Structure 1
Amino acid sequence: MSLPEPSAEALATSRELSLRLAADIAANDGWIAFSHFMQQALYAPGLGYYAAGSRKFGADGDFVTAPEMTPLFAQTLARQLVELLPQTAGNIMEFGAGTGRLAAELLLALDAMQCAPAQYFIVDLSPDLVERQRDTIARLAPQLLPRVSWLAALPETFDGIMLGNEVLDAMPCELVVRQDDGRLQQRGVTIRDGAFCFDDRDFSDTALASLAANLVPPVAGYVTEISLANRAFIHTLASVLTRGAILQIDYGLPEREFYHPQRHMGTLIGHYRHHTIQDPFYLPGLMDLTSHVDFSAIAQSGIDAGLDLIGYLTQAQFLINAGITDELAKLDASDIARYLPVSTAVQKLLSPSEMGELFKVIGFGKGIDIDWLGFCTGDRCHAL
């Protein structure tokens, strides 16, 4: 496969990150957990994929997210948020806001419904993306920019709606493997012949070992992911949320499908310039690393932390429930040049063979009493 060549500057960044990772490995008895490698590859200050200056989103980036495809995604989501915001102090907090397009279009849609949030907080670890988000909102919704604030960390308390689109999949995961003799081990990273490679060792984390014993099927050679970071993230959000809602949209599966015996190679994948990369060590810092979300674990983490599980369903069902077809119907279908790209994007968002089935939406509440529009039909909580 022929891949686009990175620039000399990008290659230099990747080499610097690789040297740092090699030093980490040398300092830790020649081995680091894969979660450590993934954390550094994605978030090392100034070097990681999300912390450096490479262009990540859109046609000239590595992948395209739903908000980049059509404004109707945000406009439909706003139909749900407009029902929730009055139940709270009227604030929104978005995690990993990408280019800022979702934030800008949510602000515009909510303002048009006379329900602009009191404050719109964005939590993002990437200085490059924060700058891009600010530029996007200033360009698309300049009158609403004063309502937006950027945070590098969570506040102690929050009253409002917490929102994340494709955030959970980008959190570091652990790799576990069942060896041919039936033993379960943790798969980490070492260096052989000057290159990063996998190396399996016994568990040092008893909590991870216990999870693996309960989740990994008895299939020799079975490799899979367990995200402790996902579980901790939901628990942390719950501890901060005093009243409001948590809405997460991502691609993933319930536990019984995620750890199905036939899914023996796991879901870890790389994305580079719209190419799918199987080798997680390809150009560290220049490639996105991601794994599917175990939504059963997300649901249980929220419940254990005192949240009400409101619903879980496919992205297609959520968007249909929330009225995306009504939003599409507002457009002039006779204006083919404008209508066709939007209708094509909506088809991708809803189609089972595109994003409609693989992407899921999960909602939690705390101290609010409302029937959520997005979960009115087609709920799949029974499958978790």
Structure 2
Amino acid sequence: MEAALYDPERGYYIRRVPTEDFYTAPELHPVFAAVLARQIARQLDSLKAAGVAGPYSVVELGSGSGILAREILKRLKEESPPWAQSIRYILVDRSRNALLDSIISLSASYERVMGCSRLEDVLPCSGVFFSNELLDAFPVHLLEKRDGGVYEVYVEESGRTLLSELSRGELKPFADAIGPRLEEGERHAVNLEALRWLRTVSEKLKEGTLVTIDYGKRFSGAPNPPRAFHRHSRDERLTEDKGLKDITASVDFDAMIHEGKQLGFQLESYGTLARFMLDGGIAEWFEQADKQGAIPSFKSRAKMKTLIHPEGMGEVFKVLIQRKKHLEPLP
């Protein structure tokens, strides 16, 4: 899965054309960035009120093309100018070309923009770390129940799959927990990489907030099969046509919350993207759209509805907000 998604020459995310197989929230409509910018400003205000020493950093994990960074900084400049001027905005993305393009573009308007190709290279800081549709793109370990036991699924170069013993001891608690709930032949994805990522974030975030926006749910032991998508359609052939399709698995937010507590993160909130957008003021944008011409208004409203509609992104995407250290819960 790592090779299929991230191979430097043939990996899916290296070759991907935006919106070809799926679209992300910031590609859909700028209101997503506007609401997220408000949340970031709110968290920074809380840090300042708690007396946490600055300067503060806003760290975007998996910054990609930079479209979200541009819109967030634009909104901060309009609604929270002091933060737009004082924060360090750090982009983290494994694509050096994307990082360079984003930094060059953003530096023309904002002085404190920098980038790292690895989270490990970010210096410890206080502020807000956030990701959007990052964790569901991490390579996963795939478990399958066969003859009453739980084994790991391996893929040969030819694409043929085979079952064998678990590759890592870390997988055993997951196999033991999910085994009784799996039917014969049923599969379950385990995202160990997401938990390692959370541990690294904990090392880098001294005080502040982690906002994780992704496709997933709180599984409570329910099976989590992986999926593949090609041209906006689900593709059941996970191991065929490597590099030409998006392979993903829903984020297990129960595991993220549990691991976070072990690392000193307090759960501030967990809910749907729809609730996050409504609480963040998306209604104001619908009012603005009504003032446009008929066709622009229709197009804008349709895109915004996708962000909050149960059959769009509104229910399947979740927003997890975790806070670190002594900060009191926000009102």
Asked if TM exceeds 0.5, the reply is yes
Distance across 1 between alignment mates of 2:173 and 2:67: 41
Alignment of 1:253 with 2:217, yes or no, is: yes
Counterpart CA distance in 1 for 2:102 and 2:326 is 30
**Structure 2: gaps spanning 5 or more residues:** 49-54
What is the letter of the counterpart of residue 136 of structure 2?
D
- CA shift at 1:98, angstroms? 2.5
Q: Percent of counterpart pairs with the same letter?
A: 29
Instruction: In structure 2, give the amino acid aligned to 1:165.
Output: N
User: Cα–Cα, structure 1 residues 132 and 282, in superposed 2: closer, same or farther, change >3 Å?
Assistant: farther
Q: 1:172 corresponds to which residue?
A: 139
Which one of the candidate residues 136, 149, 153 is aligned to 2:114? Answer: 149
SS at match of 1:172: coil
Match of 2:310, as an amino acid? P
Deviation readout 1:2-45 (Å, 9 max, x if unpaired): xxxxxxxxxxxxxxxxxxxxxxxxxxxxxxxxxxxx11222233
Matched residue type, 2:226 = L
Distance 1:275 1:95, change over 3 A: same
User: 1:347–1:221: structure 2 CA closer, same or farther, 3 Å change rule?
Assistant: same
Q: Relative to structure 2, which stretch is displaced further, 81-90 or 156-165?
A: 81-90
Q: CA 1:56–1:355 in 2, change beyond 3 Å: closer, same or farther?
A: same
Does structure 2 retain, via aligned residues, the 8 Å contact 1:77–1:106?
yes
Deviation for aligned residue 1:370 = 5.5
In the alignment, what sits opposite 2:195? 231
Equivalent-residue separation in structure 2 for 1:274 and 1:133 (angstroms): 27
Q: Which moved more, 1:292-301 or 1:120-129?
A: 120-129
In the TM superposition, residue 131 of structure 1 has moved relative to its aligned partner by 4.7
Q: Contact 2:271–2:318 (CA<8 Å) still a contact in 1?
A: yes
Higher mean C-alpha displacement, 277-286 vs 66-75: 277-286
Is 1:83 aligned to 2:42, yes or no? yes
Q: 1:336/1:92 Cα in 2 relative to 1: closer, same or farther (>3 Å)? A: same
**Shift in Å, 1:288:** 2.0
CA RMSD, aligned part only? 2.1
Partner of 1:318: 276
Supply the distance in 2 between the matched residues of 1:323 and 1:170 (Cα, whole angstroms). Answer: 29
1:363 aligns to what SS in structure 2? strand
Question: Does the CA-based 8 Å contact 2:140-2:190 persist in structure 1?
Answer: yes
**Which position in structure 1 is the counterpart of 2:149?**
183
Residue 143 of structure 1: SS of its match in structure 2? coil
Question: Amino acid of the residue matched to residue 342 of structure 1?
Answer: S
Measure, in 1, the Cα distance between the counterparts of 2:123 and 2:103. Answer: 24
Contact residue 72 and residue 328 of structure 1 kept, 8 A: no
Alignment of 1:87-126 (within 5 A): 87=47, 89-113=55-79, 114=81, 115-116=83-84, 118-126=87-95
Task: State the alpha-carbon separation in 1 of the partners of residues 100 and 246 from structure 2.
Answer: 20
Q: Per the alignment, do residues 334 and 342 of structure 1 end up closer, same or farther by CA in structure 2, a change over 3 Å counting?
A: closer
Q: CA deviation at 1:368?
A: 5.9
What is aligned with 2:317?
Answer: 359
**CA distance 1:79–1:328, shift in 2 (3 Å):** farther
Whether the aligned pair in 2 keeps the contact of 1:270 and 1:290 (CA below 8 Å) is yes
1:26 alignment counterpart: none
Q: Within the alignment, does 1:275 sit opposite 2:233 as a pair?
A: yes
- CA displacement at 1:300 relative to structure 2: 0.8
2:307 to 338, 349, 353: 349
Superposed displacement of residue 65, structure 1: 0.4
Deviation per CA, 1:130-151: give whole Å up to 9, x if none: 355347x45xx8412x322110
What is residue 208 of structure 1 aligned with on the other side?
171
Q: What is the alpha-carbon distance in structure 1 between the residues aligned to residue 95 and residue 247 of structure 2?
A: 16
- SS of 1:361's partner is strand
Q: Distance in 2 between matches of 1:214 and 1:95?
A: 30
The answer to whether the aligner puts 1:49 opposite 2:49 as a matched pair is no
Q: TM-score, normalised by structure 2?
A: 0.89
Classify the secondary structure of the residue corresponding to 1:255.
coil
Relative to 1, partners in 2 of residues 1:234 and 1:111: Cα closer, same or farther, differing over 3 Å? same
> C-alpha deviations, 1:244-287, integer Å up to 9, x for none?
1100000101122xx43xx5xx4312233333322122322232
Secondary structure of the residue aligned to 2:327 is coil
- The answer on 1:63 being equivalent to 2:22 is yes
Aligned match of 1:163 in 118, 130, 140?
130
After TM superposition, give the deviation of residue 361 of structure 1 in Å.
0.3
Structure-2 separation of matches of 1:235 and 1:80: 23
Give the Cα separation in 1 of the matches to 2:161 and 2:98: 31
Question: What runs of 5+ residues in structure 1 fail to find an aligned partner?
Answer: 1-37, 377-384
Amino acid at match of 2:141: E
Tell me the CA shift for residue 211 of structure 1: 1.7
3-state SS, counterpart of residue 109 of structure 2 = helix
Pick closer, same or farther for the CA change 1:267–1:336 going to 2, 3 Å: farther
How far apart, in 2, do the equivalents of 1:167 and 1:208 lie?
21
Output the CA distance in 1 between the equivalents of 2:36 and 2:173: 38
SS at 2:156 equivalent: strand
Give the C-alpha shift of residue 189 in structure 1.
Answer: 1.0
